[in-house]
Structure formats: C-alpha cells, structure tokens
Structure 1
C-alpha cells in the first residue's frame, strides 16, 4: 500500500519590527508618497501648503518620530550639540545651560549634556564616548584639559566640527588653540582685591574652592593675591574644606577669627555660597559686617542679595555665555567658517557687606 508523504514547508520566522510608526504609515494616512513625506521633513517649504497640512495631521495621528540617526547617515551632518559642564546641578552653570538651550531653540539642533564633576580624566573619557557619535559641535568648560583630550578636540576641530571652550579665556599672551567664549578670571580676582584695598583694607584673605580642578577659582585667587600685594597689602590664601559649601564658609570664618595678630579685615570667597556661610557664622558670633570684617563673593546668586547685610559680589555673564556659544557655533555651521570667540563683560557689585572703613 502506497502512502503519500506530504513534506512540511520550511518554517519561516516572522519578521520582527520595532513597533514604532514608520514613514510608510505617515504616507499612507496622508495619501502621499514616502518621497513627499521625506521631502516635507527635510525642507517643508518645498511642499504645497495643503499637502503639508495633511502630512502634519498624519504625523500627529500616527505618532511618527523621525529617525534622526538615519538622517545623519544620509546627510553626513549631526544636529547634536554636546556640552561638557563641570556640574549640571550647580546654579552657576544652570543659567549657561539655559542660555545654550534658548540659543538652539527652533534651529533643529538639540543639546546633549554631560557632567565632568570637575574631573579632567572624566572629561577625557566622555570625549572619547561622545566623538563616536559625531556631534555637530562640541562645547567644553574651561581651557584646562588632559593632553589626550586636547588631541581629541584638535582632531574634531580639524575635521570641521566647531569646538568651543566656555567660561574662560586666555591671558598674559597665552595662545588659545580653540575658540573661547568667557572672561578672564585673573582680571576678576584683581578687581576683587582692588575693591577691598580701595576701601582701606590692608590685611586680606582669599578663600579658594575646595575642588582641586576648579582652575577658574584658583586663577581668581592668584589674581587677587598679586593685585593686593602690588598695593602693599598682606594676603592670606586658604582652601575651603570639602563638603557642604555653607558649612565650609562657616568653618573658614572661624579659622580667620583665630588670628589675633594683625587680624584680617576683609575676605573674598571663591563663590557666593562660601561667602553666605561666612555671613551666617558672623551673625551668630555677633561679628559686625562690614565694620569688623568685609565679605566679598563671586556669582551673584539670589541668596546673597537676601542676606543681611546684602553680599557684595561679582556677577559673571552666566546666561550670556550660553547664548553667545550657541550663536557662534550656529554661524560656524551655517557658513562653514571657523567659529569666532568672544570675551564677555562681568560686573563687580558693591553691596552692604563691603564699605569704606
């Protein structure tokens, strides 16, 4: 007895999709071709108004999100701007980040942030990771980097990608390898010292940041000391303790008051938070500011304005740095020319915590 054997067809695995709406879905709902949808996404002005309205409605209806990575591969241009900031949670950099976002708004470029935590080694590692994504522009904070980071930034710049160093600028004839948008921290420190010397103080102190790689605060301290000594004043440089900055400010005031011989009559702090901690400690000790001790900060944070006495300070161009950096890199990307740096103004604000003796 013959039996017929029926062979089973080879098993075919169903093709797995990512489940997201596609360009084809938008074209089907809008009743246009995929080429028309693609043209609308790249250059909407080339699509007729009625067709553009249908495509917009279809995108909203399907929830389609364009694949930017695929677009980058096709055009060779990235819309990602990568920015490396020392501390994205620190209020002094928050306005710079906001300025960057405002400057890039409605330009098709998006901001990618990374926090270096003031570590040059971490910055180097982040550059290795970010460069692999071929960002459209790179923004780093400050002009101090590891040799490897400098090499990486130089290679990126040589390839035509804008590189900007923010919050800093070279001084004393130092040549800048990359575009800089910021200000001279040495000059700020000198102005802080002049302000206190002009008030009649001759025994001064500068309380530096506790962060070893906060080079900008250190440069302000160096400028402060140089200017004060040139004016014939005595200067003491102290490093704040690590940890809570307000507590550190309190501790530094206590340490300064332990010097009975030639007592310090004026102190400048690396930032307003340290200075505000010192003002709180002075109040608890019954120390009268500024008649017994003048206090000067840096940053112009809202808290300093609310202290009693109100804190004298330096107002840096926090938001202006972000907006200027965004504007400079967009001009460079548009024109293909080198990005142009800019030195921005800062302001020393004399309030009630410093006054003539």
Structure 2
C-alpha cells in the first residue's frame, strides 16, 4: 500500500483511492459498481485504500450513471419478531461486501401499507427488492410486474415456491405453510392424541398462519380426529396464549393436545399451565400437550422446553441475498428455493397416556 496521498482539505476522490491502492481510477470505480468483477486481492487493496483516505462514494452520482441506486429494499411484516429479525440478519450478512446497502421497511401485515411503500421506493430506483409472502394488492402487483419487466430482481420470501426456476415464475424462497400445519397435526396424532385443539393468531392479514391452520385441520379431519379451534385475542402475546388455552380447557371434554400459530402464544399458555399444574400434580407436564411454531428463543427458555417447528429464518435471508446478487451479476431473473423446516419434539409434547 502506498502512502496516504497528499491533498487539500477537500473531499477525498476516486483518484486519491487509486493512488493509495496503486491501481487505476477505472478499477476503483469498478470496485463500487461491479465488485464481483475484481480479483479478491485487488478488491482487498481498494477496500483498504478507501478506509485509509476516508473516501465516501457519491450515491447520487452512481445512481445517475447507472439509473439505479445501490439499494436492496426489503419489506417485512414485523421487525420485532425474532423470525423476521433473523431473516433480515441473514439477508444483511449475504449482502455484506457486495457494494449494496439494505433498506428495511415494515408493513405490519398490511397490503395497503406495502403498496404505499412500494410507490415510495420507486423514487429510490432500488437495484433489487425483497418482499414477504406472495399476496399483494392488485396495484402492488402491477408495480412489481413493471419492476420485473425493467430487469429489477424481485424475490418473495417466507412462502412456497410454486414452480421454482421455471421461466416467468415468481422467485420465492421459503416453505409450504399448509404442509407444515399438516405435519404438526400428524405429530400430535402419532403421539396418541385424538382430540386436538388449535389456537390461531389474531392478525387477520397473516395468511401464512391461516394456511398452517387449514393444513392442521385437514390432517385432523383426514385421520378422523376431533378438533376444537379458538382465535387468540389481539396482542399476540403471553396473555393472549394463556386466554386462548383457558377457553379450550373450559370445553368438555377438553383436547389432549393443542397447537399454536406461534411460539409466543404457546409459551404463554405453557407457562400458565405449568404454574397451575405444579399446584395440582407432581408431574411437570400435567395437562394437554402443547406445540408451537417458529422456534423462538422463548421456546428454549421455558421449562420444560416447548416443542415447536424450527424454521430456517436466517437461511431464508441468506438465500435471498445469493439469488439477488446472482441475478444482478448475470442480468437474468432471480431463482426461488424451497427450504426445509424441522419439527423439534421437546418436553411439552409427551405421548398421550
């Protein structure tokens, strides 16, 4: 590395970086706009020179030159849920050192809000776009189709790939929620439970949760099992799960096993069940078996630990980043990918006696 170039008090330039790295100005420009085209050793030298001279690229100038910003925008339902936070972390890690910056926008499960955010994003001319799920408003679908026609890669995450890698098929990275719901019911029935309960979440717009519930109900009906259902009240919290379980247990006869739309609801019910059970029985698992979804950290913090479905949260984000970067490099459409979930049996789902 050469010595830090001497200059006045002005803003560092591409020429300053080129001099410090011992490369041409064109090579430095390529580092910011097409870093994948540089040899790793050259890219490392330029990166070190950028840090040395304190160069900050002019994003507006780059956008004017290319017609696009160096922004990858991601729209997710809720940044507070660990499953989506882990997905964003995976996406961020996948984009690291790519030259693209990640912009996050929460939709709160609202298709109307998603549409407004998409319109606002048009002013940024994003290089690529990540959305959560396959359902959008009619106006949003038009915007997305326009972006795809212009060559902007669009990936939909947390949903099943209907026809991955087929020409014209939307690129989706995730899994089949209905199939997961069926697996949840089958797991409980394999443990000997013939009277099941299901607690749905209170977010009406969360169609993926509705699909899991539908799959659960279909598997129970196919096996001839009895099913009682209840929707948790607004809040999606410990208290909501506790209330919902109490509603099911008040029915006679009560279900011997209950599945929940997510681990927050299940954990609230499980903690309450253990508190009540400990005063009535020496068994720590007296009462119905409980099964959650999402493998939230809380599922491993309660005792006994909560049985759940482990979802590939971070891998969804990393796969989305790989798909987008490959599309940006090749100029072709991004590819979808089906990912696997794992049913994790822990202490909350004992065999039915």
Question: TM-score, with normalisation over the residues of structure 2?
Answer: 0.85
Q: Distance in 2 between matches of 1:55 and 1:226?
A: 55
Alpha-carbon distance, 1:249 to partner: 0.9
> Partners of 2:67 and 2:181 in 1: how far apart?
44
2:230–2:247 Cα contact (<8 Å) kept: no
Match of 1:42 in 2: 30
C-alpha distance in 2, partners of 1:270/1:31? 58
Deviation at 1:201, TM superposition (A): 1.1
- Which residue number corresponds to residue 6 of structure 1? none
Cα-to-partner distance string for 1:256-314 (whole Å, 9 max, x where unaligned)? 1211x221111000111110000111122227664530000001122212222211100
Give 5+ residue unaligned stretches, structure 1.
Answer: 1-19
Match of 1:306 in 2: 301
- Out of 199, 208, 231, the residue aligned to residue 191 of structure 2 is 199
**How many residues align structurally?**
329
Structure 1 residue aligned with 2:218: 226
The partner residue of 2:289 within 263, 286, 294 is: 294
Residues 173-231 of structure 1 show CA distances to partners (whole Å, capped at 9, x for unaligned) of xx985210000000000000000111111111111111111111111001000101110
Matches within 5 A, 1:206-285: 206-243=198-235, 245-259=237-251, 261-285=252-276
- Measured after TM superposition, the shift of residue 171 of structure 1 is 5.8
Contact 1:138 1:161 in 2 (8 A): yes
Pairwise CA distance, 1:79:
1.9
**Tell me, which stretches of 5 or more residues in structure 2 are unaligned?**
1-8
Question: Shift of residue 105 of structure 1?
Answer: 0.8
Query: Retained in 1: the 8 A contact 2:161–2:338?
Result: no
User: What's the CA shift for 1:131?
Assistant: 2.0
Per-residue deviation, 1:42: 3.0
Counterpart contact for 2:230–2:248, Cα < 8 Å: no
Tell me the equivalent position of 1:142.
133
Over aligned residues, Cα RMSD in angstroms? 3.0
Alpha carbons 1:27, 1:55 under 8 Å: kept: no
Q: Kindly state the Cα deviation for residue 65 of structure 1 after the two structures are TM-superposed.
A: 1.2
Instruction: Pick which of 69-78 and 84-93 moved more.
Output: 69-78
**TM-aligned CA deviation for residue 78 of structure 1:** 3.1
SS across alignment from 1:277:
helix
Check 1:122–1:289 CA distance in 2 against 1; reply closer, same or farther (3 A cut): farther
Q: CA deviation at 1:54?
A: 10
| Map of 2:324 onto structure 1 | 329
Shift of 1:28: 7.3
1:338 aligned residue (333, 336, 339): 333
Distance 1:59 1:128, change over 3 A: same
* Residue matched to 2:5: none
Could you tell me the TM-score, scaled by structure 1's length? 0.84
CA distance in 1, matches of 2:47, 2:19: 9
8 Å Cα contact 2:256/2:288 also seen in 1:
yes
Match of 1:10 in 2: none
Q: Which has the larger radius of gyration?
A: 1
> Any idea what the Cα deviations from partners look like across 1:69-116, whole Å, max 9, x if unmatched?
211211334321100010112111111001101111111111111000
Structure 2 counterpart of 1:79: 70
